[in-house]
Amino acid sequence: MALSTVRHNHFLATHEPGLNRFNMVRAQHHHVLLDHPKTKTPNRATRLAESLSHVLHLHIDPTSHKNLDLLSVHEEKHSTPTMSPRENISQKWREIQGYHNWEDILDPLQPWLRREIVKYGEFAQATYDAFDYDSFSEYCGSCRYNQNKLFEKLGLTRNSYTVTRYIYAMSHIELPRWLERSHVADTWSKDSNWIGFVAVSDDDETRRIGRRDIVVAWRGTVAPCEWYEDFQRKLDPIGHGDAKVEHGFLSIYKSKSETTRYNKSSASDQVMKEVTKLVNFYKGKKGEEVSLTITGHSLGGALALINAYEVATTFLDLPVSVISFGAPRVGNIAFKDELHQMGVKLLRVVVKQDWVPKMPGLLFNEKLKMFDEITGLEWVYTHVGAELALDVHSSPYLKGGMNLSGFHSLETYLHLIDGYLSHETPFRSEARRDIALVNKSCDMLVDELRIPHCWYQLANKGLVCNAHGRWVKPKRDNDDIPSHASEVFNAGLGVVM
């Protein structure tokens, strides 16, 4: 047996006790196929049949997949939980936050770390799911729900965090579709967009994870392919040293205007004020251990890194970690070095087929850093932190071919994380995250599963039938209408924000 097989079987026995002997034999068979190139590798449909049979513990002949009613199998899976029980990880929280830069716990990926990565990914996904994309809505570009209802509406109350503040952003440069605009003349805001939120763990979750965790989640963009030309040309200084970051990212993070309703203060000012308040309350007043975890996908991952830089320069003794998904490069080599010196920990989750993490600087990037001292290329972009690389081809549930939006979709990322064991092993048969979520905003699932593509939307695309039988746009509940009041009562802390 190959050495990789022995390691894999030991890992399965140690970390996946739910796998039965049949699955272990299958894992060995998979490695035999890999170790002997002349052996024919099972095709995608065969792997799909095998994987479904393992999840349901069914005895299905994978060679008869053409006669397999995949829809019936998938529906039977509906009665299984979508997540594993959450154990107490209070003694592991520093490892989870990257205290040792996630060494030896990414490959193979530890189950308790996988669940925490998915948790933060769900916070980032919430910024998409609650965003009002309807260009015919007077509230286009806002969050559809009041902050006290956000997690309830999105089914995230199980994560046991409380949203304490919404973040709004604008930009002083023209960006195609980065910030959605309403076609309605009398709109809630002509300048600003809802860009994310700040949340904090409740008492039960704090005990489970070993510290009071403050989370900042940043929203990404709708169409990343549209900003390639706009976001690779110019780097602006940040801080007082040689560190520079991409001009467009910094503009969104720092822009403000007295003539606006929601961005009299910048996204930077809003988030720093809230983080300061929470740190002073939980760490200063209550004497608790406090951490800050910043997350985001795509543009949100870039904003998360700039946010982490600012926080680290303000709070010298606050553990700051970034968990980003599909994020582009943000700054130059000096920016990377300063983040490292300040102790910011960054875990970048990337999909190998996703182009966005390769930008900006698709041609000129960190591969040229060895020439930096000779050429003086202060504009050369470089990534920061540890990388968890995922592969679309590892999942038997995903289509092949070229699908740029599907490769970049955050739900594709979360599906692949849920099924990831190590770079040497097949897709995890015990993965529990609902497969249907992958197709929320793309067409990535194999047709055998019969999941419609881009299915996530409001019922009847937001129209309701009124008392007279007319289909109309409904009025929002008063508490879901964006408020620009200077003081918002925070029920969780009992203080005025």
Neighbours of 276 (CB within 10 A): 14
φ and ψ at residue 397, rounded to 5 degrees:
-90, -15
For the question of residue 422 being annotated catalytic, the response is no
Produce one character per residue of 180-194: b if its CB has 16 or more CB atoms within 10 Å, e if not: bebeeeebbbebbbb
Strand (E) or helix (H) holding 321 = strand 320-325
Q: How far is CA 444 from the centre of its chain?
A: 18
Under 8 Å between Cβ of 124 and 297: yes
Residue whose structure tokens are 């990343």: 224
Closest to 255 measured CA to CA, from 170, 168, 166? 170
Residue whose structure tokens are 């929280």: 93
For the question of residue 408 being annotated catalytic, the response is yes
Euclidean distance between CA atoms 75 and 52, whole angstroms = 11
Euclidean distance between CA atoms 62 and 39, whole angstroms = 17
Closest to 151 measured CA to CA, from 97, 201, 222? 201
CA atoms lying within 13 Å on the CB side of residue 235:
24
Checking phi first, is residue 196 left (phi over 0); if not, alpha (psi -120 to 50) or beta? left
Under 8 Å between Cβ of 65 and 52: no
Euclidean distance between CA atoms 156 and 214, whole angstroms = 16
Which of 51, 53, 201, 298 is flagged as catalytic? 298
Q: Which two tokens stand for residue 126?
A: 């919430």
- Positive or negative, the Cα torsion across 133, 134, 139, 143? negative
For the question of residue 90 being annotated catalytic, the response is no
Distances (CA, A) of 372 to 99, 247, 311, 357, 383: 29, 20, 28, 21, 15
Which of 134, 191, 354, 480 is flagged as catalytic? 354
Which of 408, 415, 429, 441 is flagged as catalytic? 408
3-state helix, strand, coil in the chain (%, to 5): 40, 15, 45
Q: Quick check: helix, strand or coil at residue 55?
A: helix
Neighbours of 37 (CB within 10 A): 7
Going through 170-289 in order, the beta strands assigned E by DSSP cover 193-201, 212-218, 235-237, 244-246
| Residues designated as active site | 298, 354, 408
